[in-house]
Structure 1
Amino acid sequence: MKKWITTTVLGSALLLSPVQAFANIGDQTLRPTMTHSDVKTLQTILRDKGYFTYSGSPTTYYGSYTKSAVVSFQRAKGLTADGIAGRNTFNKLGVYKVNNSYLVDYAKRYVGTPYKWGGTTPDGFDCSGYINYVFKNSHSIYLPRTVKDMWANTGYKVYSQAVGDLVFFETYEPGASHMGIYIGNGKFIHAGSSSGVTISEMDNSYWKPRYIGTKRL
Structure 2
Amino acid sequence: MSDPRKRLSTLGVSRETMARLEIYATLLTRWQARINLVGPDTLPDLWTRHILDSAQLWPMIPSEARRLADLGSGAGFPGLVLAILGAPDVHLVESDARKCAFLREAARLTETPVTILNRRIEQVEPLSADIVTARALAPLSRLLDWAAPHLASGGQCLFLKGRGAEDELTATAKEWKIGHRRIPSLTDSEGVVLQLREVCRGSAQH
Question: How does the TM-score come out when normalised to structure 2?
Answer: 0.29
**Whose helix fraction is larger, Structure 1's or Structure 2's?**
2
Larger Rg: 1
Query: Which one has a larger percent strand, Structure 1 or Structure 2?
Result: 2
